[in-house]
Amino acid sequence: MIKLTFLSDTHLGFDLPLRTRVQKRRRGEDFFTNTRQVLEQAIAGKSDLIIHGGDLFFRSKIPAQIIDKVYTLLFEYADRGIPIIIVPGNHERSVLPQSILLNHPNLYVFQQAESFEFIIRGEKIIISGFPNIRHEVRAKFVDIQAGLQIKKQNLNILVMHQAIDGSQIVGYTFRATPDVVNIHEIDNRYDLVLSGHIHRRQILTNGMQPIIYSGSVERTSFQEMSEPKGYYEIEMVKKNTGWRADKITFLELNTRPMVDIYLDEIIDKINWQMLLSDELKKLAEDSIVRLKMQNKTGKFDCSRLTAEKLRVIFPDTMNYTLSRSLFAVKQEQE
C-alpha cells in the first residue's frame, strides 16, 4: 500500500501585507495555518508522498519575505523525510519563484512536462505532470501526455492544475472549451489523476481512473462560503490487475464561517450602527462578513459605510467586505 496526501490551492500570501497603515485582523495566517496542518498530519499519518496540485502562492509577484516564509515551511517538512511534489499553477503563472531553499532533495517542482520516479518499499511510483497551461490546453494535452513516462506494473499518477470536463464550481460546469482538458483524452494507463485549480473538492471519473480535486485549503471568495475545505488521503493498493485507489478520504480543515448581512432594513435608520452591531453579536466571533443589499433599487447612502465607522462597529476578531450590490445601488440612484 502506498499512502498519498494531496492538497492544492493554498494561496499562501493572500491578505498578508508586509506594511499596513491600519492594524486589523488579516486572513493571511489562516492559509498558512491550514497548510501547516495538512503537512503535520501527513507526517503523523505516515504518508509516503505529499502532492501539491498548484497555486502554492496567491499570485505571481510575491515579496521576498513571503517567498522565504513559504519555502521555509516546505523545507521544514521535506527535511522530516517525506518527498513533496509541486505543480506550478496559474496564480504563479506556471513558474515558482526561485530560491536556494527549493534545492532540498525531497522537494520536487515540475519545471516542464516531466516525470519523477520514487522507490517506496520496493515499488516504483512514477509521478508525471506539467505546469499549468494557461491557454489552449485542450489542443495541447495529447502531445503533453506523449512526453510523460508511463510504465506497466508501476504506480502511475498524473498531476496537473487545470479545469477538466465535468468539474464544477457554484452554478457552473466546465465543458468542452479550449482551456478545459478533455476528460476522455486522459491516458487510461494512469492509475490516479490529481488536479488543482478548482476550489471545490470533487471526484470525477471517465470510467478508467479516479480524477480528484482536493479543492482549496481555505475559502478565497464568498462563492465558496458553503463549501468544506480540506485535503485528501489516498491509499493505493497493488492487486493482480494493477494498482487501484483502495481508500480515498477527505479530511476537513477548520475554516472561519462566511456570513452575509443584508442592510436593507437598517441602513436608513438613525441608529443603523447599533443595529449592525447587534447583528454581529449573533455571529461567531471570528466570522468573515459581507455587507449586502437585497433590493438594489432602494434608496441608500453608500457614504455612510466609511472604513472608520466600520472599524469601530466590527470586533477585532472579524473581517468584513462590501458587496458590489452596495455600489450597484449607488449607481442606479445617480
pLDDT at 44: 96
Q: Give the percent of the chain with pLDDT over 90.
A: 82
Average confidence (pLDDT) over 33-58: 97
Judge whether residue 329 has pLDDT over 70: no
* Segment 300-311, tens digit of pLDDT: 666 778 888 999
Residue ranges covered by each domain of the chain: 2-252, 258-333
Superfamily of chain region 2-252:
Metallo-dependent phosphatases (3.60.21.10)
Integer Cα distance of 48 and 45 in angstroms: 9
> Which pTM value belongs to this model?
0.93
Pairing of strands 210-213, 192-196: parallel
* Segment 108-144, tens digit of pLDDT: 999 999 999 999 999 999 999 999 999 999 999 999 9
CB 96 within 8 A of CB 66: no
pLDDT at 328: 60
pLDDT at 298: 57
Integer Cα distance of 232 and 6 in angstroms: 5
pLDDT at 112: 96
Judge whether residue 250 has pLDDT over 50: yes
Mean pLDDT of the chain: 93
Q: Is 298 helix (H, G, I), strand (E, B) or coil?
A: coil
pLDDT band at 332 (very low <50, low <70, confident <90, very high): very low
Judge whether residue 291 has pLDDT over 80: yes
